[in-house]
Amino acid sequence: MSPRVWLERPRGLLVILFLLTLVSMSVVGWFGWRLIQQDAIVDRQYARERLEQAADRTVVNLRAILREEPNFKLGPVFLVTPTSLIAEPPARLFYLPFPSADPEAPAATFAEGESLEFTQGQPESATTWYRRLAATQDPATRAGALLRLARTLRKSGRERDAVAVYKQLETMEGVQVAGTPAAIVAREALHELSKDDLLSGRWPLTRGQFEFYWSRVVPDDPPPAMPPDLEQAALLAWNERSRQADRGRATVWTNGHPSFLIWRDTAEGRILQVTTPAAILRSASSESTAITAIDSDGRIVAGSKTGIPRAAVRSASESQLPWALYVTQSNSGRNSAVLARQRYLLFAMVVMFAFLAAGTYFIARAIRHEIAVARLQSDFVSAVSHEFRSPLTSIRQLSEILALGRLPHEDRRHLYYRTLVSETERLQRLVEKLLNFGGMEAGKRQYHFEAVDAADLVENVTAEFEGQIAGSGRLIELHRAATRCCIEADREALSIALRNVVDNALKYSPEQPTVWVEWERENNSVAIRVRDQGPGIPACERKAIFHKFVRGSAATKAGVKGMGVGLAMVRHIMTAHGGEILVASEPGRGSTFTLLLPAMKEA
């Protein structure tokens, strides 16, 4: 249906339909929009509830975490004594970021022995002196003496004795000699110092000492470095070792970064955990929860300011935690569910709109179609009336003249009778055409097939027109086929079809003298062609003219009479014969109608 058809009259029904659709769409759209809004409100409330629950859960978790310590997941744990710091487990800290506080005897303690050893050159006396000193109770002095004793023994070639002394020195923990743990020095001297000793973290070494011994034990590999945060944590633990309370927790700021200390004193020393508020909060909350913690001075110890306006707040006093908490939730999971729901809703609305629009379109189309059919039918009724009117008028006038004896001349009587006969025949043909058409439309037409020679058929049908064209100077020219063309057909029905097509050719080319009819065999078909030089048929009408009641624009413009049922009837007949009717036309130059029928197989 072309767009222009929609604008044709009557438009009222279509306008009402369009308005109804528009109103329905608006109502559906409005309800959909309200639904989405309601959904968003409910979702916001639900989200708030979840947030409050998450905040409560976080507080409970945090309290539990801060109660039980140490927790290695939260950060390094150290055992701190006034003189040492050992990481738990020790292997993690293989050097210390500060010098060891283990005691060492002052150099003056050994001055006398060293004078005997070096200045006076009396190694034997020095050995005796050191041995005596090594018997002292003070570990630092003893260690210093043992080291020097072993040295002098080794120098004087008493290797076995020297080894025995170094072995003693090796067992001494918590003392230094020459600024280094005594055990390390002894193991070095015994050539027993290994990579594992250095990495064990058992003896407090500075980084310089560690790297020095490493280069001696593993000269080929560069010394490993500890994670900087472990080093920093160790330094912090050492610096904060002397806090008063025997258990506690505190937030400590270093260079603008907050750390969190948790400690508890035990028999071996103070267990001290260094962590960050962020790490604690992380372990207390789920992944979708973001927490900002603020201390009593208003400093942010963890998290960022961004979520604070929408957060669920738990004050420090209320929660009995070291900080006030602002809990927010990253809503990705929930949002995607809402979005999915909204998307479904929108999709459902779009589908409804599409159905409404499609429904409206099809109803409008059906209305248009019904209007077009009604118009065609009314055109048909007026066309039939016109067709009948002129023969009836002639018959009536001539009958009146004859009945009243008002003949102008006696010679005319014969002519009038002839005219009465031909007009009555015309009326009969019209009635038969309508009856035939009605029968075919109702599917009541019975076909009786027999062998029909196309030449016979064409000659008989064209002969019927001789009387009609006699004296008009017009001619039906036949082009015979080279071979006999036989068709299995209902002779009468096929005659009706050909008659209609020839009648049209003559009717629509009144100014042209010749109409051509030819037939020939084409493969397995027989084609009967009727050609004229009439006005032709525009391409857009070439399909429609085969529908009932449809009359072409040229026909109506030229005022040619007709009922618009001829070609519909021809198509019925062709279909019943397993054939078809084709039209080729050049507007202004003429048309050719071809009846294409299956050829009969030669016996």
Query: Of 285-293, 338-346, 475-483, 504-512, which part binds ligand ADP (CB under 6 A)?
Result: 504-512
**Of 148, 433, 529, 551, which lies in the binding site for ligand ADP, with binding defined by CB under 6 A?**
551
- Helix (H) or strand (E) run with residue 478 in it: strand 475-479
Q: How far is the CB of 590 from ligand ADP (least distance, A)?
A: 7
Work out whether 496 is an interface residue with ligand ADP (CB under 6 A). Answer: no
Place of tokens 């109608």: 593
Show the beta-strand stretches assigned E in 46-123: 77-80, 85-88
Query: Of 52-60, 112-120, 240-248, 502-510, which part binds ligand ADP (CB under 6 A)?
Result: 502-510
Distance between CA atoms of residues 461 and 469, nearest Å: 13
Q: How far is the CB of 20 from ligand ADP (least distance, A)?
A: 38
Nearer to ligand ADP by Cβ, of 319 and 509: the residue is: 509
Distance between CA atoms of residues 235 and 233, nearest Å: 5
Two tokens at 333? 């999971």
Distance between CA atoms of residues 362 and 366, nearest Å: 6
Query: Of 230-238, 270-278, 422-430, 503-511, which part binds ligand ADP (CB under 6 A)?
Result: 503-511
Give me the amino acid identity at 321.
Answer: L
Nearer to ligand ADP by Cβ, of 51 and 497: the residue is: 497
Work out whether 533 is an interface residue with ligand ADP (CB under 6 A). Answer: no
Query: Of 112-120, 305-313, 465-473, 549-557, which part binds ligand ADP (CB under 6 A)?
Result: 549-557
**Of 94, 129, 323, 508, which lies in the binding site for ligand ADP, with binding defined by CB under 6 A?**
508
**Of 545, 573, 574, 581, which lies in the binding site for ligand ADP, with binding defined by CB under 6 A?**
545
Task: Judge contact between 454 and 481, C-beta under 8 A.
Answer: yes
Work out whether 498 is an interface residue with ligand ADP (CB under 6 A). Answer: no
Q: Which residues contact 556 (CB under 8 A, 6 or more apart)?
A: none
Place of tokens 């939730």: 329
Distance between CA atoms of residues 480 and 520, nearest Å: 7
Give me the amino acid identity at 508.
Answer: Y
Work out whether 493 is an interface residue with ligand ADP (CB under 6 A). Answer: no
Nearer to ligand ADP by Cβ, of 359 and 538: the residue is: 538
Q: Which residues pair with 314 in a beta bridge?
A: 325
The residue sitting closest to ligand ADP, measured at its beta carbon, is 552
Nearer to ligand ADP by Cβ, of 485 and 501: the residue is: 501
Q: How far is the CB of 476 from ligand ADP (least distance, A)?
A: 13
Q: By rule CB under 6 A, what count of residues binds ligand ADP?
A: 21
Distance between CA atoms of residues 572 and 578, nearest Å: 10
Nearer to ligand ADP by Cβ, of 144 and 552: the residue is: 552
Provide Rg for the chain, Cα atoms. Answer: 59
Task: Judge contact between 259 and 275, C-beta under 8 A.
Answer: yes
Nearer to ligand ADP by Cβ, of 87 and 506: the residue is: 506
Tell me, letter by letter, the H, E, C secondary structure of 244-284.
Answer: CCCEEEEEEEECCEEEEEEEEECCCCEEEEEECHHHHHHHH
Other CB atoms within 10 Å distance of the CB of residue 469: 15
Q: What single-letter DSSP state applies at residue 308?
A: G
Q: How far is the CB of 381 from ligand ADP (least distance, A)?
A: 14
Q: Which of residues 400-439 bind ligand ADP (CB under 6 A)?
A: none
**Of 102, 170, 423, 532, which lies in the binding site for ligand ADP, with binding defined by CB under 6 A?**
532
Task: Judge contact between 339 and 331, C-beta under 8 A.
Answer: no
Binding mask 553-582 toward ligand ADP (x if CB under 6 A, else -) reads -xx------xxxxxxx--------------
Work out whether 552 is an interface residue with ligand ADP (CB under 6 A). Answer: yes
Give me the amino acid identity at 94.
Answer: F
Distance between CA atoms of residues 180 and 330, nearest Å: 53
**Of 182, 505, 527, 576, which lies in the binding site for ligand ADP, with binding defined by CB under 6 A?**
505
Binding mask 169-198 toward ligand ADP (x if CB under 6 A, else -) reads ------------------------------
Query: Of 343-351, 356-364, 394-402, 545-553, which part binds ligand ADP (CB under 6 A)?
Result: 545-553
Work out whether 129 is an interface residue with ligand ADP (CB under 6 A). Answer: no
Place of tokens 């003298």: 513
CA dist 15 → 3, 25, 29, 355, 358 (Å): 15, 15, 21, 19, 16
Work out whether 594 is an interface residue with ligand ADP (CB under 6 A). Answer: no
Nearer to ligand ADP by Cβ, of 76 and 562: the residue is: 562
**Of 534, 571, 574, 594, which lies in the binding site for ligand ADP, with binding defined by CB under 6 A?**
534
Distance between CA atoms of residues 143 and 358, nearest Å: 101
Place of tokens 């957060």: 311
- Helix (H) or strand (E) run with residue 538 in it: none
| DSSP assignment string, 545-570 | GGSTT---HHHHHHT----S-HHHHH
Q: How far is the CB of 579 from ligand ADP (least distance, A)?
A: 18
Report the length, in residues, of the chain.
603
Work out whether 537 is an interface residue with ligand ADP (CB under 6 A). Answer: yes
Nearer to ligand ADP by Cβ, of 95 and 508: the residue is: 508
Nearer to ligand ADP by Cβ, of 494 and 565: the residue is: 565
Distance between CA atoms of residues 170 and 180, nearest Å: 12
Binding footprint of ligand ADP on the chain (CB under 6 A): 500, 504-505, 508, 532, 534-535, 537, 545, 551-552, 554-555, 562-568, 591
